[in-house]
Structure formats: structure tokens, C-alpha cells
Amino acid sequence: MNNEYKYLVALNPSIRNSKEEDIFKLSKRSILQEKIKKIEIEKNFNNPKIPQKILEQILQNAYSRIGISNLNDFKKYLTNNNVDFNDVKNKLEIEALWNELILIKFSSKIKINEKELRDRIKNNNKFLKSYLLSEISFEISNLKELDNKFQEISKVISHKGFDFAALKYSVSPTSNFGGKLNWINENSLNKSIKAAINNLKINDFTKPINVPGGFLILQINDIKNTKIEIDIEKEFKKLENFERNNQLNQYSKIYFNKVKKDLEISEL
């Protein structure tokens, strides 16, 4: 628990001033999620391992989210925060193996509307708006609970920050990073998400957006406009990958809940 506590704080510096007991609750949740995924990975893979080049890219994504530019500085940062680099690497590898498992099980179910994606690209041929977003993906058992759940999450965001709320409520793989996503251009967003964030300012967050498998709250961390000459095929590949990953994330949540339901969990 102590190691998980330090790990979560290191990757989400904005929660450092939260109550210790609250962070321990988040740590417990994080450990349970990781254990469940590890059990399922070991059921499906013999000697599971992620190729070194892919692991290096995953590490780069992790430290760039907290504003660190290279691996050596990341290692120093972890040492200064009493976090073992190999533990972090192992945790990221488990998440990557889980994603690989989801890809194997559900890739045949992915549906991409190529015409719709190409039309999105063609409609933006001068300036491209991009968003730096954070997400909270959550589920409810009954639609009547939605307003109360949103009020509960909003209150936590207001008092403790979006990062803390993502760690507490989000079922997305990004939760351990405070829900942080990389820059996403507006071509990659479907109509409902684009409409939800279109008039928001930096640091604003959306009302719950209905998505497959649950609901999504997005916060805008930054916005930029870039003058572009569009390479349609290159942009299409980016958009196609984003859409595929988005659908796989929905299957990941559904499959995780199924696996969790089938396990007997004894908590101290």
C-alpha cells in the first residue's frame, strides 16, 4: 500500500496535498485493479512479455504526461520520490499486456466507418484545433443515479481537482495518470464529444457524455490552433487508430467487470 501510494503521487503530483486516507483508498483500488488484470493475463499468456521498444514508448508516454523530457530525468524523479523504477516498469508492462489481451479478444469486433472519418478530415483543411484533455470514465447501474453521481464527482473535482477525481472514479486505463490524455485533434472526436467541449474554456469540464459502456466527463487542460496542410492519408491513419483504441477501451471496461465479477476478492 505504501509503495502504491508513492507511485500514484509520483505520477499525479497534483494530488500530493490530498488527505492521506483518501490517497490510501485510491491506492487500494489501484492494487485491486492491477491484481485482477495480472491474474487474467497469466491465464491467457505463457511467459508474458512486452517487446523492449514498445515498453520504451510506454515509459516515454508516462513521463511526458508529468512534464519530464527524458528517461534519465524520470529515473531521478522517481528516486527523489522513493519510487522504484523497476516497479513502475512492471506496472506499465501489466497494463500493456492487458491491452494486448483485449486486442486479441476483441479486435474482430471493431467497426470503422472509413467514409465518416475521411469526411471529418476533409471538413478541416485550414486550421486544426487540438485539445489537451483529461477523462473520467464511469458507469452507473441505473440512469436515475446519473445526476447524483455527476454532482458527487463534480464536488470532488471542485475541492480536490480533476486528477484526484479521475483516480477515485474513473474505470479507464488512464485513471492512474489522473485521467490525462495526449493531445487530440478535433477530427478525432465524434459529434457528441465535439459538441460537448466546443464552447468550453481551459479548465472547464463537461457534463456526462453517453458513450458505449458508460459515461464520460472530459476536462480541457489546453487548446491550440495549428495552420495545416492536411495529408489526408496520414490523418486518416491517426483518426482510425484513435477510433480503434476508443472502441477497444470500451471492450476493456466490459471485460474487466466480467473478470472481476467471476473472482473471489478478499480485502483486508
Confidence at residue 124, expressed as pLDDT on a 0 to 100 scale: 60
pLDDT digit string (tens) for 133-143? 999 999 888 88
Packing angle between helix 52-64 and helix 85-106, nearest 10 degrees?
A: 110
Confidence at residue 241, expressed as pLDDT on a 0 to 100 scale: 85
Confidence at residue 126, expressed as pLDDT on a 0 to 100 scale: 64
Range of weakest confidence among 92-96, 215-219, 243-247: 243-247
pLDDT at 225 over 90: no
Full set of structural domains in the chain with CATH: 2-109 (no CATH), 114-262 (3.10.50.40)
Q: Is the dihedral of CA 194, 196, 202, 203 positive or negative?
A: negative
CA distance 166 to 112: 28
Confidence at residue 239, expressed as pLDDT on a 0 to 100 scale: 82
CA distance 1 to 24: 7
3-state secondary structure of 125: coil
Q: Is the dihedral of CA 206, 211, 214, 220 positive or negative?
A: negative
pLDDT at 9 over 60: yes
Given pLDDT bands bounded at 50, 70 and 90, which one contains residue 92? very high
Confidence at residue 200, expressed as pLDDT on a 0 to 100 scale: 92
pLDDT at 268 over 60: no
More confident residue, 137 or 235: 137
